[in-house]
Amino acid sequence: MTGILLVTQFILAAILTVAVLLQKSSSIGLGAYSGSNESLFGAKGPAGFLAKFTFSMGLVFIINTLALGYFYNVEKKDSIAEQIETVIPLAKEPVKSEVPQAPKDN
């Protein structure tokens, strides 16, 4: 299930990115490539349609993100940190450190 939702997430991200870039802005963005489709989208042109489409795709993206997080947590109940084996090495003998003495001058 998470595999399908993950692929859907990538597709929705691409669609949402294109929808945002197609909207009219001060620098027009990719909207210059969409052509004039005023008769298809109504009197306002694609601005109203793209705003509604972007909002709906954003909402679907958020719902898919929440579903993906939920199903991933159901599938993977334990975290990676719980799978780490901790082994503490014990010292066999205490280490005796001998510091060399400086030579004595007579």
**Helical pair 46-75 and 2-22, crossing angle rounded to 10 deg:** 160
Query: Residue 73 has what pLDDT?
Result: 85
List of the chain residues with pLDDT < 70: 25-47, 91-97, 106
Query: Residue 24 has what pLDDT?
Result: 72
Query: Residue 101 has what pLDDT?
Result: 76
- Asked if 15 and 8 count as a contact pair (C-beta separation under 8 A), the reply is no
How far apart, in whole angstroms, are the C-alpha atoms of residue 44 and residue 30? 18
